[in-house]
Every structure is written in C-alpha cells, then in structure tokens.
Amino acid sequence: MKKISGSDAIMQVLVKEGVQTIFGYPGGAIMPIYDALYNYSDKLNHILTRHEQGAIHAAQGYSRVSGKVGVCFATSGPGATNLITGLADAQIDSTPLVCITGQVPSHLLGTDAFQESDIIGISMPVTKWNNQITNADKISEIMSKAFYIAASGRPGPVLIDITKDAQFAKIKFTYKKCEKIRSYHPYPILNKDSIKKASDLINNSKKPLILVGQGVLLSNAEKELIQFSEKSGIPMASTLLGLSAISCIHKNYVGFLGMHGNYGPNIKTNEADLLIAIGMRFDDRVTGDTSKYGINAKIIHIEIDQSEINKIIKVDVAINADAKQALINLLPFINKNEYKNWMSEFKKCDEIEFNKIIKKELNHDGKEIKMTEVIHLISEMTDGKSIIVTDVGQHQMIASRYYKFTKPKSNITSGGLGTMGFALPASLGAKLGQPKREVIAIIGDGGIQMTIQELATISQYNIGVKIILLNNNFLGMVRQWQELFFENRYSFTEMKNPDFQKIAEGYGIKNNKVENKSKLKKSIQKLLDYKNAYLLEVVVEKEENVFPMVTSGDSVSNIRLE
C-alpha cells in the first residue's frame, strides 16, 4: 500500500466524510495541511476568511442552513485561540463543527515554543469533544470519530489539534466511517411509558401550549410537529432558535417566546395548564423568574440531551429522545381536538399588542425610519422565504418579531452566547450552504464593525449576500437598558461611525444609503434585485426601543408593553 502524508490523510477523510466547503486561515503550524489542500481544489472548496473568528462563524452559518457539519482550519497559538468565541457559540447553540488546528511539533509541546498554546485545555469547556493528534497513524480514526461526535445526538463543535510532525509523517492510510463509540450513546432509548403518560396529559388538557425549540430543526421534525399540532389542535410558540421550524402564518402559530417576544405566548405561558417543550432548554430569556414560570401547568419535556431535563424547570413527564422520534411515537396516541376558546385568547392578546405597539411602530408620523419598518418591508417583499442572518442586539429581536418566516432553517442567529460580529461571516457561510436561496444579513452598526473585514471574503469569492446595516449610532440594546434601568446614563454606548459607503466601495461591494422613509421601499427593492453582494445602510431612529419586554429576572406574566 502506497504511503501518504498525515496531511493527505486529512484531505482523504474530509472527502470521504462528504465535506465540500472549508473555511480557514493558514499559518506556520498548519502549513503542511494547506500544502496538501492545494492538490484537492477539485474536491474541496476552501474559503479564505480574513480572521479565524470569521472562519468559524462562516462554518456555523453553513452548517445551520445545510444541515451538514461545518469545517474550519486555523493555525496554532493565536490562530487557534481566535476560534474560541465561535466554539462557545456553537456549543451552546448545538451547531455541528469540526475545527482542525495545526500545532507545534510534538517534541516542542510544553516548551512555550513560538505560537504554541494549549488549545486542548483552553477549548475543553466549549467543545463537545477535542483531541490532540501527535501520531499520524491515528488521523483516520480520530477524524472519523470527530465527524460522528459532532453530528450525532445533540450536535456540537469538535476540535482536533494536529502537531506539525504528524502532518508530515508518512502512513498507510485506511478509512472506516465511525458509526459507534464505546460508552458514547447519543441516541437515548425511547421510554414508551413516558409516551403514554405524555399522551394522557395532552388528551386531558384544557389550555395546552407547545414550546418549539431548535431541536425540531436539528432532528428535521418540522413535518411531524405540524402533524402533531394539527391533530391535537394545540397552539405553538417558538423560542428564538426555534423560529422557522413552523411557518409564522400557520393557523396554530401564536408567536415568539422570550424577553422581547410576543405578548400572547409569554403571558399565556402562566395561564396554560400544560406546556409541551420540544427540543428547547428553558433558557433564562424564555423563562424569566423560574419560580414564577408555568405556575398553572404540568410540563412535558421532549429533549435529546438528558442533562437538560430538570436542569432549570422541574418537569412532570420527561421524554429523553430525538424530537422526530418522540413525535412519531406520540402521534398515534393523540386525540383529534381543537381549542377554539383557548386560541381566541391568543388572538385577543395579538390585538392588544398590535394596538399598543405594532400599529404605532409601522404607522408613525415621524420622519426617522424605524427598524421595525425595515424588517416589516423586507418580510413582505420576500414573502418570508429568505434566509435571515442576524447579529445581536435590538435589530435581532425586531427581526425575530417582524420577519414572518415561511421556510425551515431560515433564521440564523447567535442565541445562547449572543455573539456580536456573528452575522456578517455567518451570512457568507449560509449563502455558500444554500446558494439558490436569498440570504439577507441584518446587522447593527456595532456588530458589523467587529467582523467588517469579512467584506473582503464576500468580495473575493463573489458571495451574493445582501447586507442591511441598521445604523442608529448607538449600541442600541445596551442603550435601551441604560434608558430604562440606569436613568438615561448613556455610558459609552454612543458611537461615531465611519463612512460605511466608502468602506464597502473599498472592498468593491455595491452599496447605497437611505435616510428618507419615502425612499426606503425602493432602496430595498434595488438591493433584492441585485444579483451579487450588496450593502444597504439604513439610518434609523437613534433611540428606538424594543417592546414587549420581560425585565431580566421578572415573571413572564409581567411583560411590559411600553
């Protein structure tokens, strides 16, 4: 058998695992891998980002829309440590990644050699698994395990650190796809008794509510969820990462949960007699004060990660299973039903929210453009069919409230970690993951400046992302909290921003700026009609606030409308 280098073995594994796109940034310790990659340009598409954090966020965006494992490369030391934010983000948001870092030669480990860092120790808390390869003979086995662990069960990021001598070493390469690891059981055995107990609670409930989490999307259970809701007649509300698992125009969809979610599903959480949580983890932004959450409800929790069950909210029935498997097994036991009076209560809440907030936001007399108007227009003009990639802050919450998603895997955002700078690189990854779909990045003026260099990546590879920059010259969400809870003391949140048009021009990206509300729709249409990358800067009201709002640590029953 012909011997190949460790670096060639890595390429072979990537090809056999079905990898098509890699995001990365080369450096000394990973140079042998990049040298091997040179000969695989017909099979592996490498995207050179401008920062390692950009590479990992791009891999996240690619994974979230495609359902595949995202892959990124980085060199040792600072290259590897620049991945940490993305690893933490992927870990908490359950995004499957395989990150490959180069490392100094094995004989230099522990000597503080140039660009050496203990990336295994550093990354351990923010990865699902990590491993350092110092022996090239282990490459095939470890890499195969990496892909299996990243994608199986509750997905997550894996980091593989490979010393430079292992990259150079010659080995006899064989490949066997990993399908099982001793002591690792990613798919729990479904407890049929739990299914029966859950169905009894469901069939006897008077005011049930389904809480839809990202687990529905990760298990591709969108169809089963709709069948479950339509047969049972139970209304559905979505977490931030669960958005787009069901169409926002579905008759049983009642809105977005959480701190800045819709009035109805938040306030009715404490009036429901049964909460059915599917693939969600009862995040604090959803629950508020846990001692006052679901106070009248029995709780069913469908969750693949056993450690999440009873971690935050004590449940009455736990179904430790993949969401799709659980729903398939639950469906035959569910009675055909409808809840007309219960559903009408949500509609009354919608009317209250519309009259108190939405009508004023969309029909105001002021000259300044509101972020809500921008998102509402984009939603209408795209029929809710685009992939929306948001950064973190006010615009993120407004996009989640006002964009009416109609297709699955369309809401790409940083949920648990709340990473500013996420959207620009994640959007280019998303576009490469779904090149036939419209990808729109909605970003604030604070977030875009954290990873603005990735405009160069978009330009170099002609990635047709549409970027809408909502510029209020503030770190908007922090400013809102300073206004509401710190007596208008705007401590270091106002920003003097650069000329974004000149920056976009410098990167060779078509751009426009709109400040006049009368020109907004035409400007958005121009962006949508353009075939390649386009940046539209929209100057919006400086001190716009996002409501409804559940004050941090308060009960969801005390949601504020103003």
Average pLDDT over residues 399-417: 97
Average pLDDT over residues 187-206: 97
- The pLDDT value recorded for residue 108 is 96
Amino acid code (one letter) for 350: D
In the set 12, 23, 52, 173, the catalytic residue is 52
Give the Å distances, CA to CA, from 193 to 144, 185, 215, 289, 518.
36, 21, 22, 31, 60
In the set 16, 20, 31, 115, the catalytic residue is 115
- The pLDDT value recorded for residue 119 is 98
Average pLDDT over residues 243-272: 97
pLDDT of 1 strictly over 80: no
Average pLDDT over residues 131-140: 97
pLDDT of 47 strictly over 90: yes
Give the Å distances, CA to CA, from 329 to 59, 189, 319, 324, 391.
34, 12, 11, 9, 37
> What percent of the chain clears pLDDT 70, i.e. is strictly above it?
100
The sign one gets for the Cα dihedral 120, 122, 125, 127 is negative
Average pLDDT over residues 453-479: 97
Give the Å distances, CA to CA, from 406 to 60, 222, 421, 511.
22, 12, 26, 28
- The pLDDT value recorded for residue 441 is 98
Q: Using CA atoms, how far apart are residues 205 and 523, in angstroms rounded to an integer?
A: 49
Q: Using CA atoms, how far apart are residues 57 and 386, in angstroms rounded to an integer?
A: 19
Q: Using CA atoms, how far apart are residues 324 and 336, in angstroms rounded to an integer?
A: 20
- With beta carbons less than 8 A apart as the criterion, state whether 522 and 454 touch: no
For this structure, is 164 an active site residue?
yes
Q: Using CA atoms, how far apart are residues 369 and 367, in angstroms rounded to an integer?
A: 7
Which pTM was predicted?
0.97
Taken in order of first residue, the domains within the chain and their CATH numbers are 4-171 (3.40.50.970), 192-345 (3.40.50.1220), 369-539 (3.40.50.970)
Kindly compute the dihedral angle of the four CA atoms of residues 105, 108, 113, 115, in this order, to the nearest 10 degrees: 30
Average pLDDT over residues 346-351: 97
Instruction: Place 552 in a pLDDT band, splitting at 50, 70 and 90.
Output: confident
Instruction: Place 178 in a pLDDT band, splitting at 50, 70 and 90.
Output: very high
- With beta carbons less than 8 A apart as the criterion, state whether 69 and 98 touch: yes
Amino acid code (one letter) for 307: S
In the set 114, 192, 338, 351, the catalytic residue is 114
pLDDT of 297 strictly over 90: yes
3-class DSSP state for residue 553?
A: coil
Tens digits of residue pLDDT in 378-403: 999 999 999 999 999 999 999 999 99
- The pLDDT value recorded for residue 363 is 86
Q: Using CA atoms, how far apart are residues 555 and 396, in angstroms rounded to an integer?
A: 22
What single string gives the DSSP state of each residue in 110-129?
Answer: TTT-TT---HHHHHGGG-SE
In the set 371, 450, 477, 549, the catalytic residue is 477
Specify the higher pLDDT residue, 129 or 360: 129
- The pLDDT value recorded for residue 364 is 83
Q: Using CA atoms, how far apart are residues 251 and 338, in angstroms rounded to an integer?
A: 12
- The pLDDT value recorded for residue 235 is 98
Could you tell me which of 207, 210, 154, 236 has the C-alpha nearest to residue 405?
236
pLDDT of 365 strictly over 90: no
Instruction: Place 366 in a pLDDT band, splitting at 50, 70 and 90.
Output: confident
Tell me the pLDDT of the chain averaged across its residues: 97
- Other Cβ atoms within 10 Å of 223 Cβ, number: 12
In the set 68, 128, 145, 164, the catalytic residue is 164
- With beta carbons less than 8 A apart as the criterion, state whether 236 and 252 touch: yes
Tens digits of residue pLDDT in 472-531: 999 999 999 999 999 999 999 999 999 999 999 999 999 999 999 999 999 999 999 999
- Other Cβ atoms within 10 Å of 314 Cβ, number: 11
15 Cβ contact list (under 8 Å, min separation 6)? 40, 43, 44
Tens digits of residue pLDDT in 217-228: 999 999 999 999
Average pLDDT over residues 535-549: 95
For this structure, is 394 an active site residue?
no
The b-or-e profile of 24-43 (16+ CB within 10 A means b, else e) is: bbbbebbbbbbebbeebeee
- With beta carbons less than 8 A apart as the criterion, state whether 418 and 447 touch: no
- The pLDDT value recorded for residue 2 is 87
For this structure, is 345 an active site residue?
no
